[in-house]
């Protein structure tokens, strides 16, 4: 059989063949629907018959329970099987029908129908037997007979067992089988065996690159090396072509490392560059920058991709992630202050792989108590180097910031405060604030830290003195700008609080008011000097914590 319809069993696409009959012959069968053709009639008392079809049928279309057939014989059909059918199917034109009991001599008929497998007997082109089929008569005789058994098999079914006889090749009259019934009914059957030719073996060798794929001719995609085999089956169920693909997978080396398609982390120092390079035994190179050399020099941070093709056509992709490494910078400032009579530690910073100071030290830091210019050479873990310089200058410590001693009235408080601003304060009483209030006499000292980090100490003496409290308002003033008695305000001794002074003219109109005992009236209202006459003042106040007191009286403005 020559199949030009593809994988009949698997439903694959059509395949084409070139047929060369040089030195050989081929038999072509028609593809018409099969018919019940004849029955091999056994002697009487047999419990089976052999039904012949007009053309070979597919073994897979035969219902094993015999339900493809009906008969009027006095026994039930219990099974049916194709002669020389195999597990993989094949085809036959002889079907053995088994009955539930022995058949007596007589004339009977047998018909075909649709079996319990929901199909009828089918030919090689899957054409079902024509229904209703014509009844085939058969006679169970007392006498024997001679008949020809025409069989067709696939090449792989050889050697072929026929009635217990091993047949090793095809042809006409290749075997004869004779049986003798108990009643003397001899039956001779002669085998004519047609064998389909051996399948064509097709071997294909293919090579792919690692991580690529190959599409096999039978619609399967593979990525690993090995031998892949597929059987193309003809319309009669026999193998017509056995195709084998031997697939080899090439695993190329990487560009800069052993792994293919790698990512390489690298970089360059500021104001420098980096060389990106791979092996030079590739056939071609193309970078994402457009360059086509095996190596390039870059001075801009970023990602650079290289596609390198080797002699086998395999492509290796290397990705270089390039960073720009910073220049080392020392932790100290360009100018550092050295307090008089102290030392300073110059720290270049943690994490560098190399230190070298101008005094030969290789430590991270050095300590000095003398001014001058110092330098240190640094190297980062990335190999970047730099030299930083620092100028150490001497600065004075803070002093004289508390001023002269202070005299205060007994039982009164006084505020002590430095004359300048500092970064930190520590008073002799442990207070950390800028100023403190003291109520008792004695010596107080203050330690401060300035912006240069230098500390200094100063002290002040607070002297208690006996002071008397009083409050006095003048009865006249002369605002003539002679710097004498120009302002009307009280004189007092002691601590004054809840203070208010109000001044009224002769018509009772308020012309001046203040809550500050140090602020007085200059004799003007809205910038105009008032006339010479007598005014009335009212003043309320509390002196040294005494109850609130209110005084009033006249004041004369004179010139």
Does 143 lie in the same domain as 169?
Answer: yes
Nearby residues of 226 by Cβ (< 8 Å), 6 or more positions away: 247
Same domain, yes or no: 267 and 142: no
Residues 42 and 190 grouped into a single domain: yes
Residue 345 lies in a domain: yes
Check whether residue 164 and residue 45 sit in a common domain: yes
Query: Any idea what the CATH number is for the domain that residue 542 is in?
Result: 2.60.40.1220
Domain range holding 483?
470-557
What are the tens digits of pLDDT across the range 462-498? 988 877 778 899 999 999 888 889 999 999 887 889 9
Contacts of 24 (CB under 8 A, 6+ apart): none
Q: Which two tokens stand for residue 481?
A: 């700008």
CB 232 within 8 A of CB 15: yes
Mark whether 303 and 354 lie in a shared domain.
no
Q: Is residue 548 part of a domain?
A: yes
Answer whether the bond into residue 132 is a cis peptide, omega within 30°: yes
What pLDDT does residue 135 have? 87
Extract the residue ranges of the chain whose pLDDT is less than 70: 1-31, 41-45, 142-146, 180-187, 253, 255-260
31 in a structural domain:
no
Is residue 44 within 8 Å of 99, Cβ to Cβ?
no
Q: Are residues 89 and 156 in the same domain?
A: yes
Provide the pLDDT for residue 502: 97
Tell whether 400 is covered by a domain. Answer: no
- Write out the E strands in 270-405: 274-277, 284-287, 295-298, 302-309, 315-325, 335-339, 344-347, 354-357, 365-368, 372-379, 385-395
Same domain, 221 and 366: no
168 and 54, same domain (yes or no): yes
Print the SS3 string covering 185-222.
CEEEEEEEEEECCCCEEEEEEEEEECCCCEEECCCEEE
- Cβ atoms of residues 115 and 18 within 8 Å: no
How much is the pLDDT for 523? 93
Domain count, the chain: 6
pLDDT at 313: 84
d(CA 461, CA 509) in angstroms, rounded, equals 50
């Amino acid at each position: 059989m020559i199949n030009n319809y593809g994988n009949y069993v698997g439903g694959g696409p059509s395949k084409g063949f070139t047929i060369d009959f040089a030195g050989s012959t081929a038999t072509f069968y028609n593809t018409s629907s099969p018919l019940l053709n004849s029955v091999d009639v056994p002697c009487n008392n047999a419990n089976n018959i052999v039904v012949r079809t007009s053309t070979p049928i597919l073994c897979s279309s035969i219902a094993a329970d015999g339900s493809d057939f009906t008969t009027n014989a006095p026994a039930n059909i219990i099974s049916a099987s194709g002669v020389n059918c195999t597990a993989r199917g094949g085809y036959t034109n002889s079907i053995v029908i088994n009955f539930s009991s022995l058949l007596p001599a007589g004339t009977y008929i047998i018909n075909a129908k649709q079996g319990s497998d929901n199909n009828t007997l089918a030919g090689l082109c899957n054409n079902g037997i024509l229904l209703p089929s014509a009844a085939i008569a058969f006679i169970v005789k007392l006498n024997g007979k001679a008949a020809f058994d025409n069989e067709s098999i696939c090449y792989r079914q050889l050697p072929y067992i026929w009635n217990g006889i091993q047949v090793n090749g095809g042809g006409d009259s290749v075997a004869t089988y004779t049986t003798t019934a108990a009643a003397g009914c001899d039956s001779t059957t002669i085998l004519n065996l047609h064998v389909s030719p051996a399948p064509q073996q097709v071997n294909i060798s293919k090579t792919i690159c690692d991580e690529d794929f190959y599409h096999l001719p039978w619609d399967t995609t593979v990525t690993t090396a090995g031998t892949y085999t597929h059987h193309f089956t003809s319309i009669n169920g026999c193998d017509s072509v056995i195709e084998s693909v031997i697939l080899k997978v090439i695993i190329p080396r990487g560009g800069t490392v052993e792994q293919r398609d790698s990512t390489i982390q690298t970089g360059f120092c500021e104001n420098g560059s980096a060389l990106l390079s791979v092996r030079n035994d590739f056939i071609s190179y193309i970078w994402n920058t457009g360059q086509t050399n095996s190596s390039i020099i870059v001075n801009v941070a970023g990602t650079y991709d290289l596609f390198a093709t080797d002699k086998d056509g395999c492509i290796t992709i290397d990705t270089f992630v390039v960073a720009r490494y910073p220049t080392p910078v020392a932790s100290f400032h360009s100018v550092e202050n050295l307090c008089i009579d102290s030392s300073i530690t110059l720290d270049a910073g943690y994490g560098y792989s190399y230190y070298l100071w101008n005094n030969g030290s290789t430590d991270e830091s050095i300590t000095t108590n003398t001014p001058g210019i110092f330098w240190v050479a640094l190297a980062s873990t990335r190999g970047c180097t730099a030299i930083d310089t620092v100028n150490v200058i001497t600065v004075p410590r803070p002093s004289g910031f508390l001023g002269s001693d202070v005299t205060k009235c007994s039982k009164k408080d006084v505020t002590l405060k430095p004359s300048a601003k500092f970064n930190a304060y520590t008073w002799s009483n442990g207070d950390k604030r800028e100023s403190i209030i003291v109520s008792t006499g004695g010596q107080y000292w203050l330690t401060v830290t300035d912006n240069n980090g230098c500390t200094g100490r100063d002290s002040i003496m607070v002297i208690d003195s006996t002071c008397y409290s009083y409050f006095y308002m003048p009865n006249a003033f002369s605002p003539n700008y002679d710097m004498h008695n120009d302002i009307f305000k009280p004189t007092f001794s002691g601590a004054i609080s809840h203070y208010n002074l109000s001044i009224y003219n002769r018509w009772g109109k308020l012309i001046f008011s203040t809550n500050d005992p140090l602020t007085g009236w200059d004799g003007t209202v809205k910038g105009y000097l008032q006339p010479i006459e007598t005014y009335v003042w009212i003043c309320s106040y509390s002196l040294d914590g005494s109850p609130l007191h209110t005084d009033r009286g006249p004041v004369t403005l004179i010139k």
